[in-house]
Structure formats: C-alpha cells, structure tokens
C-alpha cells in the first residue's frame, strides 16, 4: 500500500502542477507528498522530477513512468468504482431507448417492475422508432430488435423474437396459399421499411438462404402500420409475432410459409463501448434477461 501511495502522490503532484497545488487539492501536507515522491525516486534509483522554485517538470524517465502508472491508477479507480456499483443498490437516472411498438407491447411491464424493485432508480424511457446515438444523446442503454453490427457498441442478447409472414383471408382467397417463398414474386406485399432488407425478404430452406424481392401498394416504417395494412387486405406482410399472434388466432390473418421463416431477430441491450458497465445498467440487463426467460416473446410461448 505504501508503494501505491507513493505512485499516486507522484501522479497527483504532476497533474496539479506542483506540491503546493496537489496538497490543496487532495488534502495532504506538502511535506508528506514531497517525502512520498522522494521515497519513490530512491526506490527506483532514478530522478523522476526536476524541481525548481518556479516550475516542476518531468525527466525523460519520469515521463515514461508517468504514462504507464497514470493508466494503471485510472484502471484501478475504474475497477474500484465498478465493484462499488455492483455491490450497491441501483440508483440514479437511467435513460433507456426502445422501439415504440415493441416497447408498448412487451417492455412496459418488465421496465416498470424494475423501477418498483429499485425505488432509488428514476427511469427516463423514450419509445421511438429511430436509432438513437447513445453517446451524443446521453442514453445509458438502448433496447433494440436487431442483429448487432456496430463495433463501437456492445450488445447483450436478452431474448429471441420471431416474425410471421401473413395475409388476410381475402388475400389468400384471391391469390392462393403460397407454397414457396418464390411464389410471393408478383403478388401484392406490404413492406415494412424498418426491416433491414426492406423489400428483399429473407427466407430459408434448410441451409439455403432464399432472398425474394417483393413489391406492393404500401411501404411503411412501422410494424403496426404493416399489420393494419395486412388486415385491410392490401397484401402479404412480414410482421413481428408479438403483434400478429393474437390476430392470427382470431382468424383475421393467416400465417403462411412458416417452415421457411427461421429468422429470429434478437431483443438486445446495446450500450457504449466502455471499460466497465455501470451497476444500474448491469442490474437492468440482468433483470430483463431473467424476466424474458420466464415470459418469452410472441409465438415462442405457443
């Protein structure tokens, strides 16, 4: 511990620009800081600082030593803060972004249960269908249904979701039940532009991926919008099962090509690339993983 105290004193003195300034900032005596730095130099057998009455500067050895030990001290401080957060109850403002339709259908219960469990947390939940910039806009975490591709962010899988291809009974009557994905070419389709492929729908036949380009009378950047358009008989649609399951059960929509739809986008918690994850975000993610294990999304419950 004495060695660490000497190293910290050396960094503090240089960062503050002198012994007197460091003493004022850190509440230590100038004599003690001077002794620690001198002891460190004696231990290393090299002078680290050039001291004059006017200014303090680092020697060549001191500059090299400072670069390394300042990083080590920063890592130790981060680690101390992380351990403290992990052992303390979550508290403070928690800013969360999530897609509107999925958020309203499936996230409100678990998120509000989390707040009830942790009364010292204040939740600022933004439900909107856009990719927020977590760093620039100050979000702690974004809950997204996607396949993570941004290397500047970290993602943790929370749950699987599923997608249904479906159409209104009137559309099936008019065009027949498609037996293969290729049969959708030339048929009216509703395109949700939120899907990564947009008009290029992805299916699978065993290990073979089938990409089918579709077209139709409606393009909309909303899964709820695509669902309503499908209910109105405007064409075939790919919609999230958490929206469509109940409507299919009622017979208002008909599921098609179920054997060709292995695509299961993940519900993911996405957060900025930081060395350590804050305790409140870690607690929220762990809570959501546990919650969705007990309450699977959409047709996975069938």
Residue 144's closest CA among 274, 37, 271, 5?
A: 271
State the pLDDT at residue 63: 92
- Residue 141 CB burial class (10 angstroms; 0-12, 13-18, ≥19): buried
What is the C-alpha end-to-end distance of the chain, expressed in Å?
Answer: 59
Q: Do domains 2-87 and 92-159+276-301 have the same CATH topology?
A: no
Q: What is the pLDDT of residue 54?
A: 72
The pLDDT score that the predictor gives to residue 206 is 78
**How are strands ordered across the β-sheet holding 92-98?**
121-127, 92-98, 141-146, 266-272, 153-160
Query: What are the boundaries of each domain within the chain?
Result: 2-87, 92-159+276-301, 163-260
Which parts of the chain sit beneath pLDDT 50?
Answer: 1, 275, 299-302
Which tens digits make up the pLDDT trace of 128-153? Answer: 878 888 877 888 899 988 765 555 56
Q: Give the pLDDT of residue 106.
A: 86
pLDDT at 110: 95
Pick the CATH number of 2-87 from 3.40.50.2000, 3.90.950.10, 1.10.10.10, 3.30.110.40: 1.10.10.10
Residue-level pLDDT at 87: 57
3-state secondary structure of 215: strand
Confidence (pLDDT) at 96: 95
CATH topology of domain 92-159+276-301: D-Maltodextrin-Binding Protein; domain 2 (3.40.190)
Main-chain dihedrals φ then ψ at residue 227, nearest 5 degrees: -65, -45
Q: What is the pLDDT of residue 263?
A: 62
Angstrom distances, CA of residue 37 to CA of 3, 24, 127: 10, 17, 54
- For 163-260, CATH gives 3.40.190.10
Q: What pLDDT does residue 1 have?
A: 45
Integer Cα distance of 179 and 296 in angstroms: 29
81/276 Cα distance (integer angstroms): 9
């Amino acid at each position: 511990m004495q060695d660490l105290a000497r190293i910290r004193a050396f960094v503090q003195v240089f960062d503050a620009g002198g012994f007197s300034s460091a003493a004022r900032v850190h509440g230590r005596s100038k004599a003690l800081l001077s002794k620690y730095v001198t002891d460190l130099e004696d231990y290393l057998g090299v002078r680290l600082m050039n001291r004059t009455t006017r200014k303090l500067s680092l020697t060549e050895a001191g500059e090299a030593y400072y670069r390394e030990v300042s990083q080590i001290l920063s890592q130790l401080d981060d680690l101390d803060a992380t351990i403290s957060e992990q052992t303390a109850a979550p508290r403070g403002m928690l800013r969360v972004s999530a897609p509107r339709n999925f958020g309203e259908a499936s996230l409100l219960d678990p998120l509000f249960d989390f707040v009830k469990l942790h009364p010292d947390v204040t939740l600022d939940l933004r439900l909107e269908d856009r990719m927020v910039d977590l760093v620039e806009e100050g979000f702690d975490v974004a809950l997204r249904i996607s396949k993570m591709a941004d290397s500047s962010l970290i993602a943790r899988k929370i749950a699987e979701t599923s997608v249904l291809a479906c159409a209104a009974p009137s559309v099936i009557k008019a065009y027949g039940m498609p037996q293969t994905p290729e049969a959708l070419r030339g048929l009216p389709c509703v395109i949700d532009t939120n899907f990564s492929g947009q008009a290029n729908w992805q299916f699978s036949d065993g290990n073979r991926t089938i990409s089918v380009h579709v077209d139709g009378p409606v393009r909309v950047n909303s899964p709820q919008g695509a669902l309503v358009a499908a209910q109105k008989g405007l064409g075939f649609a790919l919609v999230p099962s958490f929206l469509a399951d109940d409507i299919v059960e009622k017979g208002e929509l008909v599921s098609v090509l179920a054997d060709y739809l292995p695509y299961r986008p993940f519900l993911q918690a996405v957060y900025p690339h930081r060395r350590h994850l804050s305790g409140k975000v870690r607690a929220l993610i762990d809570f959501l993983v546990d919650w969705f294990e007990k309450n699977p999304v959409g047709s996975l419950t069938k």
